[in-house]
Structure 1
Amino acid sequence: MPELGVVTRMLLGVARDGSDDRALAGTICRACVDGLDVDGASISVLTATDAREMLSATDETALLLEELQFTLNEGPCVEAATSGHPVLLPDVQHTTDTARWPVFAAAVNERTGVRALFALPLQWGAINLGVLDLYRRLPGNLNDEQRRDAFSAADVATLMMLGHRTDPGGNGGWLDSTAASRAEVHQATGMVLVQLGVTAPEALARLRGYAFTQGRLLIDVARDVVARRVSFIEDVE
């Protein structure tokens, strides 16, 4: 099994201290800048109305990149959010990929000193929360080790965001079973497991994703599932 990367280890060591969404996103972004060969990072999440909400940016350039994509409705972040796949641009100035976003690419070249962009979807199964954006002023791809670390860190960040919004009272590590210790959550997870024919972790992730998009706590959604007020069967129809 490959050794965990620097950023992934940083995130797994973050305590659930009750901080708000923006503080958590800031912690994730700073870990990426500290542990990867990038100059800045930002996180935006999708809201219930399919709009994007900026949670954190490490600097003015990261903020400008987000604002350009939000204004123009094009760019690697928009594509990553829509497709659910990473978008990696080693050189914004010399790639045919930017032909997909000509206005954004021109704005980046004119208004920033950014050369490389990496947009990583915050996705768990079918659940798409938003995007982690990374930028670098020098051209070039992340090396293999850093790319694996960045992808793994995006997965951990997704679980952190899901856990934070749906069970903010939890303590301890982000990947422990604290959030699932309540009997109703266990029961609801089992019901979703049967409804969708998925594994227990995926069923719990579906519950968290539903709670996230609805702006509700995990325990409240679990109670609705147990009471059969909410069903996930329609997800596979």
Structure 2
Amino acid sequence: MTVDRRRESLWRAIAAVTGAPGQPEWASAVCRASVRLVPGIDAAALTLRATRRAQDLLGVSDDWAGELDSQQYTLGEGPGVEAFATGIPELVADLGAGQGRWPGFCDAALAAGAGAAFAFPLQLGGIRLGTLDLYRRRVGGLPPGSVADAAVLADLITLALLHEIGNAEASGHDWLRAAGSYHDVNVATGMLAGMLRISLDDAFMRLRGRAFVANRPLLEVARDLLEKKLDADELNE
């Protein structure tokens, strides 16, 4: 199959996914399609990123992918974080060999049963939206064809999301608030910053530190704060 025909085939597969781009059901369906379309992949996650603090998990192929992407968010490191920062795909064939770069994430990923991870930035020119993160349970790299297919999928997903963002801006609909799994973290960060009179970055680092010490997902800690199960004074250190 020629490159153009393969790209067209991938485009049809993404276009066939029902729902609106950015909505959880669409994003998760796209992740499941990515697992089917890229040989050697066991799971996928689609994450929007603005900064290391501001990001939203749009969808996952399964709970395992969600757990792995949650670890990147909680720890602030990993192939997805790096790929977004640099705009260059991160292809990690052996997470055990990546512990020098991302010790926290690699330890957590290995414990969760991951052997390799591959992150592709969602970008168009100077616009960078997030990453498509692909995981596999066994150690080993992807063949060139699979890498090419994953890069094309990332491009197609980017185009679909940019189209949805344009429609949302025209209609005034905040689709990210409805779609993003980490919205509660953003709200909790703002609330903690106001209560303790600190910056948003400081508030976020305190939530992240609490999650790390307690060995819990950052999202859970944020929800504890919102639900008043966690007192802000406990984070005033």
Same fold by TM-score, threshold 0.5 exceeded?
yes
Identity across matched positions, percent: 35
Partners of 2:102 and 2:149 in 1: CA distance: 27
2:101 paired residue number? 100
1:53 paired residue number? 56
Partners of 1:142 and 1:48 in 2: CA distance: 28
Partners of 1:48 and 1:218 in 2: CA distance: 26
Q: Give structure 2 stretches of 5+ with no counterpart.
A: 173-237
Are the structure 2 counterparts of residues 7 and 19 from structure 1 closer, same or farther at C-alpha, using a change threshold of 3 Å?
A: closer
TM-score by length of 1: 0.64
Q: Give structure 1 stretches of 5+ with no counterpart.
A: 169-215, 220-237
Are the structure 2 counterparts of residues 124 and 19 from structure 1 closer, same or farther at C-alpha, using a change threshold of 3 Å?
A: closer
Partners of 2:134 and 2:127 in 1: CA distance: 21
From 10, 13, 23, the counterpart of 2:13 = 10
Partners of 2:10 and 2:65 in 1: CA distance: 19
Alignment: residue pair count:
169
Partners of 2:49 and 2:109 in 1: CA distance: 23
- 1:1-237 to 2 correspondence within 5 Å? 2=3, 3-4=5-6, 7-14=10-17, 18=20, 21-36=23-38, 37-47=40-50, 51-93=54-96, 95=97, 97-110=98-111, 112-167=112-167, 216-217=169-170
Indicate conservation of the 8 Å contact 1:117/1:135, yes or no: yes
| Superimposed CA distance per residue, residues 203-225 of structure 1 (whole angstroms, 9 cap, x where no aligned partner) | xxxxxxxxxxxxx2399xxxxxx
Which amino acid in the other structure matches residue 93 of structure 2? P
Which amino acid in the other structure matches residue 29 of structure 2? T
Which amino acid in the other structure matches residue 106 of structure 1? D
Indicate conservation of the 8 Å contact 1:90/1:139, yes or no: yes
Q: Tell me the CA shift for residue 58 of structure 1.
A: 1.5
Partners of 2:129 and 2:93 in 1: CA distance: 25
Which amino acid in the other structure matches residue 33 of structure 1? V
Partners of 1:107 and 1:71 in 2: CA distance: 11
CA RMSD of aligned residues (A): 2.5
Which amino acid in the other structure matches residue 92 of structure 1? L
Q: Tell me the CA shift for residue 84 of structure 1.
A: 1.1
Are the structure 2 counterparts of residues 148 and 102 from structure 1 closer, same or farther at C-alpha, using a change threshold of 3 Å?
A: same
TM-score by length of 2: 0.64
Partners of 1:115 and 1:25 in 2: CA distance: 24
Partners of 1:102 and 1:128 in 2: CA distance: 26
Indicate conservation of the 8 Å contact 1:7/1:31, yes or no: no
Indicate conservation of the 8 Å contact 1:12/1:156, yes or no: no
Greater helix fraction, Structure 1 or Structure 2: 2
Q: Tell me the CA shift for residue 7 of structure 1.
A: 3.8
Which amino acid in the other structure matches residue 83 of structure 1? T
| Superimposed CA distance per residue, residues 34-56 of structure 1 (whole angstroms, 9 cap, x where no aligned partner) | 11121111111025896011111
Q: Which secondary structure state, in structure 2, belongs to the residue aligned with residue 62 of structure 1?
A: helix
